[in-house]
């Protein structure tokens, strides 16, 4: 049996029409004798709304929280009614009612105590994937696709770090074998929510924002899938975020290593942890567009064909803070850097970039609410300054290994921008630098223009860009 894990993101399941498209795509895979396992996100924007509801309740605004929940109830009921009919619809409506009662009780409780712990927050936001996956499974069943709903919390087992829980490989694999494999043997199509999981004790956890991609990869690894497909709202991994640069081109193939760097450094199209489980079992990952399913997408695999351009793609990570630790002559004294990193470790705060001079260490971290505490702890060691609203641009490509003169081209292309910190990762396939958030758009456009003006057609979808250009010319 050739298993294909198909993950559909929020926009791919945003309403009944999108769910119908999803079913068509899944049916197409089945027609090719593949055994699909479907992982879905919450319907678009639902996670944001659940977070807003929890926060309203925490402020004591019970009415505001319940109003959000009422809107969500309406949207899910309407979608269910557009897709399912008869007795299965009755059963589905009853189930949805129960879920919303549970959610409302939770929100009322939160509003009464006005306290929101990470554990309760996970429980509230988990509703998004719980609801979408059940509606889709029931719709698939009615449509003759043999959908079978699986509560992802019975399969994906994690530690108890709420909000960004870490999966436990062995337990997860055992549960997938126990709960999902038998359904595949019965020729059913298992449908589960991404992003949500549980501890071994059954407490609900989540894998971090955008975590449904990660679930897709975990399921792929656990079931030894032959491929993992990430269905989203763009044609694949592009040369940069198409929202930043209209000329972005689809990258036809990219290596695991390159994709992992891009995801880590902000390319939202993939959750940063997605690649590792695929690498461990050497499972190819495809990124595909659910609104344009016949487009070739991007293949992420162990190796990509040679590319004549130095870079494959440019990622951007915003909302970063630079922390400068200035320590006179102490810097190079034994144990000093360790003391600094211990502070970040204690606060479980990952550091993106580090650079040192004779007297100072500069580090960048995601802006977060623990920063004042981190700065207070660091100030016991040295003088500390921190500055938010920074962004990191990360240029990735295997072809920069050993090529001279690339850095000069990069900094020439953005010579008008004030660049703060520069680093070339040990992997030698990325070049990253920090700047003000406000400078990002212009910088990315200049870099894109310089490095992708003559794209290698074996790697980049040049034909699509040329076709789009012809269309624009024809219109004028
Ligand atoms: P989903 O809901 O399907 O998981 P996301 O919104 O998480 O989708 O990710 C898709 C979005 O990622 C795209 O709409 C695009 O704006 C953004 N993106 C950022 N960088 C890239 C890139 N290099 N290639 C493609 N998309 C990117
Ligand atoms: N629904 C979750 C989020 O919006 C997970 C995901 O969509 O991947 O972050
Ligand atoms: Mg996503």
Please give the number of the atom of ligand 2 that sits closest to the Cα of 215: 8
* Rounded Cα–Cα distance for residues 362 and 368 (Å): 17
Average pLDDT score over residue span 209-218 = 98
Helices (H), 156-211: 169-179, 181-185
Q: How confident is the model at residue 299 (pLDDT cuts 50, 70, 90)?
A: very high
* Rounded Cα–Cα distance for residues 326 and 337 (Å): 12
pLDDT score, position 296: 95
- The yes-or-no verdict on residue 468 having pLDDT over 80 is no
* Rounded Cα–Cα distance for residues 52 and 107 (Å): 11
208 C-alpha vs ligand 3 centroid, how far in Å? 11
User: By three-state DSSP, how is residue 315 classified?
Assistant: strand
Q: What is the pLDDT of residues 137-183, one digit of tens each?
A: 999 999 999 999 999 999 999 999 999 999 999 999 999 999 999 99
pLDDT score, position 337: 85
Nearest CA to 270 out of 302, 319, 310, 313 is that of: 313
250 C-alpha vs ligand 1 centroid, how far in Å? 12
3-state secondary structure 81-121: HHHCCHHHHHHHHHHHHHHHHHHHHHHHHHHHHCCCCHHHH
Residue 189 near residue 36, CB atoms below 8 Å: yes
121 C-alpha vs ligand 1 centroid, how far in Å? 25
Q: What DSSP string describes 236-283?
A: SSBSB-TTT-TT--BBSEEEHHHHHHHHHTT-TTS-TTSHHHHHHTT-
Least confident of 14-23, 80-89, 302-311, 426-435: 426-435
- The yes-or-no verdict on residue 234 having pLDDT over 70 is yes
Nearest CA to 452 out of 267, 307, 261, 248 is that of: 248
pLDDT score, position 335: 80
Q: How confident is the model at residue 451 (pLDDT cuts 50, 70, 90)?
A: very high
Q: How confident is the model at residue 300 (pLDDT cuts 50, 70, 90)?
A: very high
pLDDT score, position 332: 63
Q: How confident is the model at residue 476 (pLDDT cuts 50, 70, 90)?
A: low
- In the sheet where 157-158 sits, what is the strand order? 157-158, 196-199, 204-206
Average pLDDT score over residue span 299-327 = 94
Average pLDDT score over residue span 225-252 = 97
Q: What is the pLDDT of residues 372-408, one digit of tens each?
A: 999 999 998 889 999 999 999 999 999 888 778 898 9
- The yes-or-no verdict on residue 421 having pLDDT over 80 is no
pLDDT score, position 253: 97
Least confident of 128-132, 349-353, 456-460: 349-353
Q: Considering every ligand atom, which ligand is closest to the CA of 10?
A: 1
- The yes-or-no verdict on residue 76 having pLDDT over 80 is yes
Please give the number of the atom of ligand 2 that sits closest to the Cα of 41: 7
Tokens standing for residue 247:
């000329």
Q: Considering every ligand atom, which ligand is closest to the CA of 127?
A: 2
- Mean pLDDT over the full length of the chain: 94
- The yes-or-no verdict on residue 333 having pLDDT over 80 is no
The residue to mutate among 127, 130, 133, 195, having the most atoms of ligand 2 within 8 angstroms of its beta carbon, is 195
Nearest CA to 287 out of 369, 221, 228 is that of: 228
The residue to mutate among 19, 128, 214, 241, having the most atoms of ligand 1 within 8 angstroms of its beta carbon, is 241
Q: Residues near 134 by Cβ (< 8 Å), separated by ≥ 6? A: 92, 95, 96, 149
Nearest CA to 171 out of 188, 153, 189, 186 is that of: 153
- 227-232/204-206 β-pairing: unpaired
pLDDT score, position 210: 97
Structural domain boundaries in the chain: 3-233
- For residue 416, how many other CB atoms are within 10 A of its CB? 9
Share of the chain above pLDDT 90, in %: 85
* Rounded Cα–Cα distance for residues 476 and 460 (Å): 27
263 C-alpha vs ligand 3 centroid, how far in Å? 11
pLDDT score, position 353: 87
Is domain 3-233 annotated with CATH 3.40.1160.10? yes
pLDDT score, position 331: 58
Average pLDDT score over residue span 16-36 = 98
Least confident of 23-32, 119-128, 287-296, 399-408: 399-408
Q: In this structure, which residue's CA is closest to atom 27 in ligand 1? A: 241
Q: How confident is the model at residue 425 (pLDDT cuts 50, 70, 90)?
A: low
List, chain by chain if needed, residues with CB within 6 Å of any ligand 2 atom: 9-10, 41-42, 47, 128, 194-195, 209-212
Tokens standing for residue 360:
């100072």
Q: How confident is the model at residue 330 (pLDDT cuts 50, 70, 90)?
A: low
pLDDT score, position 11: 98
Least confident of 24-33, 243-252, 310-319, 349-358: 349-358
Per-residue b or e along 111-129, where b marks 16 or more CB atoms closer than 10 Å to that residue's CB:
beeeebeeebbbbbbbbbb
Q: How confident is the model at residue 475 (pLDDT cuts 50, 70, 90)?
A: low
User: By three-state DSSP, how is residue 151 classified?
Assistant: coil
């Amino acid at each position: 049996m050739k298993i294909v894990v198909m993950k559909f993101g929020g926009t791919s399941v945003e309403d009944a029409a999108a769910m119908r498209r999803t079913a068509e795509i899944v049916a197409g895979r089945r027609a090719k004798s593949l055994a699909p396992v479907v992982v879905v996100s919450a319907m678009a924007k639902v996670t944001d709304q659940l977070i807003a509801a929890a926060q309203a309740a925490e402020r004591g605004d019970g009415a505001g929280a319940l109003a959000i929940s009422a809107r969500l109830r309406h949207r899910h009921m309407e979608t269910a009614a557009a897709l399912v009919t008869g007795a299965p619809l009755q059963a589905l409506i009853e189930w949805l009612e129960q879920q919303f009662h549970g959610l409302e009780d939770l929100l009322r409780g939160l509003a009464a105590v006005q306290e929101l712990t990470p554990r309760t927050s996970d429980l509230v936001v988990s509703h998004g994937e719980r609801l979408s996956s059940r509606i889709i499974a029931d719709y698939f069943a009615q449509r003759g696709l043999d959908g079978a709903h699986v509560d992802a919390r019975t399969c994906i087992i994690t530690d108890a770090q709420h909000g960004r829980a870490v999966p436990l490989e062995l337990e997860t694999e055992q549960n997938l074998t126990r709960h999902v494999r038998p359904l595949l043997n019965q020729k059913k199509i298992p449908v589960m929510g991404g992003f949500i999981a549980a501890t071994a004790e059954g407490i609900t956890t989540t894998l971090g924002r955008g975590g449904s991609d990660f679930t897709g990869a975990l399921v792929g690894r656990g079931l030894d899938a032959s491929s993992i497909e990430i269905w989203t709202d763009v044609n694949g991994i592009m040369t940069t975020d198409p929202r930043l640069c209209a000329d972005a081109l689809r990258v036809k193939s990219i290596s695991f290593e390159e994709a992992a760097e891009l995801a880590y450094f902000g390319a939202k199209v993939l959750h940063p942890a997605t690649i590792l489980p695929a690498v461990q079992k050497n499972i190819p990952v495809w990124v595909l567009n659910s609104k344009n399913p016949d487009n070739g997408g991007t293949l992420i695999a162990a190796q990509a064909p040679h590319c004549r351009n130095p870079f494959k793609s440019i990622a951007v990570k915003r909302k970063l803070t630079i922390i400068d630790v200035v320590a006179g002559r102490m810097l190079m004294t034994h144990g000093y850097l360790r003391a600094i990193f211990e502070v970040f470790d204690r606060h479980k705060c990952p550091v993106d970039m580090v650079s040192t001079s004779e007297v100072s260490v500069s580090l960048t971290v995601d802006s977060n609410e623990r920063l004042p505490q981190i700065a207070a702890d660091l100030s016991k060691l040295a003088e500390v300054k921190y500055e938010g609203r920074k962004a990191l641009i990360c240029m990735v490509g295997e072809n920069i290994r050993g090529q001279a003169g690339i850095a000069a081209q990069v900094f020439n292309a953005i010579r008008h921008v004030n660049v703060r910190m520069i680093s070339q990762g040990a992997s030698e396939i990325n070049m990253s630098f920090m700047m003000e958030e406000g400078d990002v758009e212009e910088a990315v456009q200049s870099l894109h223009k310089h490095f992708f003006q003559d794209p290698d057609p074996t790697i980049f979808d040049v034909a699509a860009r040329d076709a789009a250009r012809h269309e624009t010319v024809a219109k004028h």
